[in-house]
Amino acid sequence: MEITVTVNDEPYRRSVEPRLLLVHFLRDELGLTGTHWGCDTSNCGTCVVWLDGLPVKSCTVLAAMADGKRVRTVEDLADGPRLDPVQQGFVACHGVQCGFCTPAMLMTARWLLDRDPDPDEGTIREAISGQLCRCTGYENIVRAVRWAAEHPDGET
């Protein structure tokens, strides 16, 4: 079937199998490998992207369901060489170890801060509760999101 999906403000028209998952469309059809695929059970949350402005697990969405919609992936976060404040926060607070969960954590953090610019720790933990990090114990991820909240324009 033919679909047209706008990804990071670029329209893409592709012929896809009806069963193709959005995560595989992004990675294999478009080469946007910043979105990770970490499980077959919809549990890990490493595949989070925005679909029409809302974070979704892209392994739970068919590419066909994104037809006519807007997708935003981690590749769209930085503004050229200038990192988004959430990316800067993860660097400043060592929120990354292996990095496998990081793109999805960044997308959820940016979505949260766009709606709640000053979230407390509990709010941050709830926002990322659908995503697993096998490395960090979450402490530094929470600190990284708080850093971004305290530096809305990033480092100047």
The least CB distance from residue 21 to ligand FES, in Å, is 9
* Contacts of residue 100, Cβ cutoff 8 Å, sequence gap at least 6: 36, 38, 46, 134
The least CB distance from residue 74 to ligand FES, in Å, is 14
The least CB distance from residue 42 to ligand FES, in Å, is 5
For residue 22, give Cα distances in angstroms to 47, 74, 156: 9, 14, 36
For position 45 contacting ligand FES by CB under 6 A, the verdict is: yes
The least CB distance from residue 114 to ligand FES, in Å, is 22
For position 12 contacting ligand FES by CB under 6 A, the verdict is: no
Residue numbers 78-137 binding ligand FES by CB under 6 A: 96-102, 133-136
Name which of 82 and 134 has its Cβ closer to ligand FES: 134
Amino acid making up residue 149: A
For position 57 contacting ligand FES by CB under 6 A, the verdict is: yes
Residues at the contact surface with ligand FES, assessed by CB under 6 A: 37-39, 42-47, 57, 59, 96-102, 133-136
